[in-house]
Amino acid sequence: MLKGQLVFAQLTAHLPRSVFNECVALHAGRYPTLSFSHWDQLLCMMFAQLTSRTSLRDITTCLRSHSSKLYFAGFRGNIARSTLADANERRDSRAFERFTLHLIDVARALYARESLGIQLAQSVYAIDASTIDLCLSLFSWAPAANARAGVKLHTLLDLRGNIPSVVRITSTLVSDASFLDHLRLEAGSFYVMDRGYLHFERLARFSDAAAFFVIRSKNKLHHEVVACLAHDAVAGVLCDQRVVLTGRYTRLAYPGHLRRIEFHDAVRDRTLIFLTNNFELQAVQIAQLYKSRWQVELFFKWIKQHLRIKSFVGTSANAVKTQIWTAIATYVLVAIIRKRLNVTACLHAMLQVLSLNLFEKIPLERLLGQAAFYEESDGPPAQLPLL
């Protein structure tokens, strides 16, 4: 008989089982769950993410090689490739979506007091979208844009901890700016976006909700300068203006005043133009806020490099969404554990250590507490800094 808990069981102990059961009950289907439950399915998919398994055969073969330990790891059903494939195809992915969003709420509460690197009390969110390419011959349901099939991952990233607050999965034909219609805007918070979200009718909603946006402007934007504000040329601010839009459609979509800032990026020797509805912060702070938007790019790069969302173990839309949601749930779970156990190692080091020790009987605090010492200290970091 095994003494102590397996590392995998210690990890999943941080998952609220009762909440998961409620999510499953809300999206219960006709597929039988007696021999292979939704919980077993979730554990299988998380195991695949943590150990970098790329196919159903890989998942089931590796799990069955630990058949004597599966019960102690939390599995209750029989592990079979066809059973897992059917579960991913038929069971509603919205149950995993709802559960992942609950984990996101838990993680955001833990990271609420994280430093932004900017002297700012308000919440700051970065908005962006990333395309996950799919093979058109296998995923015929995914509409193709420019002969590229795929799905688009729209994300609202809370920059305190780099936790995704809102995630939406759509086809590649859906515009980036349409994601703004699905956000519940928080009064006083800042939302940072690139030029793909420059839609003034949608941006007017931010002002109506007393929320602030910082967005990069197009170079040729019809406007009229109402007032010139004081600016710090030494810090790279070329001009700071209060403007109104004069375009045929833009002046109707956004009739209020905007703040237009020209900033010279000395590092890359380029000039950037920002628009915002905030007139209180210094122009340099606005530029710093836009620079922080790069964290959402790092988030997409990180999950594509270290989680399994490039190769899929199912070909239906439901199976693809299930895998994406369980991948995000795994990312958020590791972030939760990192905070709860006060782990100093980065997420990359944590995942590498966990992948080799899931079925070992080592206290999780001790295993992850030593993870920082296993990293190479010299040379470029193995992971771009996310947390």
Task: Indicate whether 277 pLDDT > 90.
Answer: yes
What pLDDT does 1 receive?
A: 37
Closest CA to 328 of 167, 144, 120, 196: 167
Residue 192 predicted with pLDDT over 90: yes
Please report the pLDDT score of residue 380 as a whole number. Answer: 45
Residue 275 sits in the same domain as residue 323? no
CA distance 223 to 293: 25
Q: What is the pLDDT of residues 295-352, one digit of tens each?
A: 888 888 877 777 777 678 888 889 889 999 999 999 999 999 999 999 888 888 888 8
pLDDT at 356 > cutoff 60: yes
Q: Is residue 1 part of a domain?
A: no
pTM score, whole prediction:
0.82
CB 53 within 8 A of CB 115: no
Q: How confident is the model at residue 212 (pLDDT cuts 50, 70, 90)?
A: very high
Which residue among 232, 253, 279 closes a domain? Answer: 279
Mean pLDDT, range 171-189, rounded to an integer: 91
Per DSSP, the residues of 273-295 read: EEEES--SS-HHHHHHHHHHTHH
**Residue of higher predicted confidence among 236 and 17:** 17
Average pLDDT, the chain: 86
> 319 is written with which tokens?
């199976």
Residue 144 lies in a domain: no
301 falls within a domain: no
Is residue 11 situated within a structural domain?
yes
The pLDDT tens digits of the residues spanning 24-72 come to: 999 877 655 668 899 999 999 999 999 988 889 999 999 999 999 999 9
**Rg of the chain (C-alpha set):** 23
For 45, 70, 128, the CA distances from 73, given in Å and listed in that order, are: 14, 5, 37
> Which of 225, 258, 279 lies at the terminal end of a domain, its last residue?
279
Residue 185 lies in a domain: no
In this structure, the number of other CB atoms found within 10 A of the CB of residue 374 comes to: 10
pLDDT above 50: residue 387: no
Tokens for 384, please give them: 């771009």
Residue 307 belongs to a domain:
no
Flag whether 86 is in a domain.
yes
Summarised one tens digit per residue, pLDDT across range 103-135 is: 999 998 888 877 766 667 788 999 999 888 776
Place of tokens 């609202």: 156
Range of the domain at 227: 195-279
218 or 330: which leads in pLDDT: 330
Q: What's the pLDDT score for residue 386?
A: 38
Q: CA angle 191-194-198, nearest 5°?
A: 85
For position 31, what pLDDT does the model report?
A: 59
Residue 220 sits in the same domain as residue 265:
yes
Whether 35 is in a domain gets the answer yes
What phi, psi does 15 have (nearest 5°)? -90, 125
Tokens of 75: 């599995």
Task: Count structural domains, the chain.
Answer: 2
Residues 272 and 321 in one domain: no
Residue type, 39: W
Q: Are residues 273 and 327 in the same domain?
A: no
